[in-house]
Structure 1
Amino acid sequence: MKINKIIGFFIASLLLILTACEPIVDEDVLENTTDVAGVELSATQSTPGGNEITLDLVTPGINGYWDYNLGQALTDKITFVYPIPGTATFTFTGTLGKEFFTKTIDVQVDQLDHELDHDWYNLVSEDTVGGKTWVFDGGPNPDGRMWWFMSAPGNKDGAWGAWWNAGGDCCPPVDAAGKMHFDLDGAANFTYYADASSGTGEAGSFVLDVANQKLQIIGSNILGAEEPRGNPEGIYDIVSLTEDQMVLYLSNNAGGTGWTWVFKAE
């Protein structure tokens, strides 16, 4: 009997000690500071209908970022020069406190009255509505030149180091005689033609990331993107982009190597 009392006393003491050691936690309950309807966004243009735009989150106490189609800005306010005439939709993503939200604002761009970064003119020409057409800078048959080839993976600094000159030596892509057209006629338009002589193209769009020197094709892909060489996501590093030549690079394709594309203005 005494043993049972001692064991019971020991267990009760142990529970008391464990309970005393538990930390006291004040639980903060997140609450929304407003609702989506209460979030005010503003967009101003430095000139009426012009393409220099300032996006601003007016409502205080909201955290988030702007997606202005050319990139993302981790700030409440951003000013930029937009390259595409027409109606542009910009998105703010943020948190109300306990939940995330997205809200958009539209801006009508009627004139490109502020000069674009020169990469835009190199890609689509100064006639941004008419655009520019690009083809392989070689071929379409093997010609010994370097225009579609395997390169070292991992770093675009090695993009010109050919491991295997596929297009120039023996094995050009099936669309070696094709073309690609870029323009800013109401949107960032991309059209792919498997054969340059064909009047039927595959329509898509593109994003030119000037700051990070990347080109993304959406809803289509570049010439010579056949598996395993191309990127299914359509994102390529820009090695160089001039008025006459564009060199793109993929650092690690499905074949485990890098790949380099060399195009010229048609």
Structure 2
Amino acid sequence: MKINKFKNISLLLGLLVLLFSACESIVDEKELENSTNIDGVELVVTQNSNGGNLLVLEMATPGVTGYWDYNLGIALTNKVEIIYPIPGTSTFTFTGTLGAEFFEKSIDVTIDVLDTPLDQDWYDLVSENTAAGKTWVFDGVGGDGGLWWFMSDPSNKPWSVWWNAGGECCPPSDVAGKMHFDLDGAANYTYYSSADGAGQKGSFVLDVTNQTLQVNDQIILGGVDGGGNGSGLFQIVELTEDKMVLYVPNAAWATGWTYVYVPAE
């Protein structure tokens, strides 16, 4: 009986060894390799005319994948068509993988004429004279009872008024200020804390598709006193030639905040 017991134990151990051996995963140790080098990545830009602003950006090298950064947005593809609103020389960057490593490569494009019309939102924001631009101010003054700078519902309800700060009692300290948008060589934003104050330069990104306005390196008019959220990103509620309404659902006090502007006279 003892001999049989030992045989059974040995057999069991042998089966366990075979079982664990069979369950071991097979590891493919083949290393990733580059399909080309950075010099071999071909970036091509096709314009609709000589110096025109309808562009096709293409990364034309097989086996390479990535995305385009065209300054006003990101295209998660090797090829994209855009209508670019800014005259002058602009740099577009492709970020991708060669197979074993990531890379960035850029190409410069000169635009001499805006011969393809822009989306109307661009003209509403910066005027038909895109290089000269357009200046915006608040649609009201402190204590006038109007709705132009107020606390709102944070659940994407920009016209649900929680506290009419500007129209009732407490306008922002830059209530008499202004802000200017233009496309003179770049998407330029200039903030003025008062009507006669010195301009502070920044930039902006208008996302027509997602209806957002991003202000970089400066605050928006009215953001100085906590109405903003620090990101510089605003939802566009309304944008016409005569009115611009912006909104953040996550303002400084865990509320929404709504801004209403009109063109300066």
TM-score of the superposition, structure 2-length normalised?
0.92
Partner of 2:26: 24
205, 208, 220: which is aligned to 1:207? 205
What's the CA shift for 1:253? 1.7
1:251 corresponds to:
249
Contact 2:173 2:225 in 1 (8 A): no
Structure-1 residue corresponding to 2:166: 167
CA distance in 1, matches of 2:251, 2:159: 16
Q: Contact 1:67–1:91 (CA<8 Å) still a contact in 2?
A: yes
Partner of 2:139: 137
Give the drift of 1:193: 0.3
User: What whole-Å deviation, never above 9, does each CA across 1:72-104 have from its counterpart, x for those lacking one?
Assistant: 212221121110011111111111112211111
Cα offset, 1:32, TM superposition: 0.9
Look up the SS of the partner of 1:121 in the other structure. helix
CA contact (8 A) 1:227 1:254 kept: no
CA separation of 1:9 and 1:227: change in aligned 2, threshold 3 A? farther
Corresponding residue number in structure 2 for 1:229: 227
Partner of 2:148: 147
| SS in structure 2 at match of 1:226 | helix
The CA deviation at 1:20 is 2.7
**Is residue 2:125 matched to residue 1:127?**
no
Q: 2:215 aligns with which of 214, 217, 237?
A: 217
Q: Is the 8 A contact 2:245 2:259 kept in 1?
A: yes
Give me the identity figure in percent. Answer: 60
Which residue does 2:240 correspond to in 1? 242
Q: Which amino acid aligns with 2:164?
A: N
- 1:87–1:109: 8 Å Cα contact kept in structure 2? yes
Q: After superposition, where does 1:1-266 map in structure 2 within 5 Å?
A: 14-139=16-141, 141-155=142-156, 158-198=157-197, 200-266=198-264
SS in 2 for 1:161: strand
Deviations 1:209-256 (A, max 9, x none): 001100000110201113532021211000000101100000112311
Pairwise CA distance, 1:39: 0.4
Name the SS of the counterpart of 1:64 in structure 2. strand
Matched AA of 2:145: G
Displacement of 1:26 after TM fit? 2.7
Partner Cα separation in structure 1 for residue 117 and residue 104 of structure 2: 30
Deviation at 1:207? 0.4
Cα deviation 1:122-145 (Å, max 9, x = unaligned)? 000011111100000001x22110
> Which 5+ residue runs of structure 1 have no aligned equivalent?
none
Where in structure 1 do 4 or more consecutive aligned residues deviate above 4 Å? 2-13
Compute the displacement of 1:33 (Å): 0.5
TM-aligned CA deviation for residue 264 of structure 1: 0.4
**Equivalents in 1 of 2:90, 2:239: separation in Å?**
26
In structure 2, stretches of 5+ residues that fail to align are none
Question: Which letter does structure 2 place at the counterpart of 1:128?
Answer: T
CA distance in 2, matches of 1:57, 1:42: 6
Provide Cα deviations, 1:151-210, integer angstroms capped at 9, x if missing partner: 11131xx21111110111111111111000001111111000000122x11100000000
Q: Using the alignment, how far apart are the partners of 2:167 and 2:260 within structure 1?
A: 11
Q: Deviations over 1:93-124 (max 9, x none)?
A: 11111221111111011111111111111000
8 Å CA contact 1:125, 1:131 repeated in 2: yes
- 2:222 partner letter: G
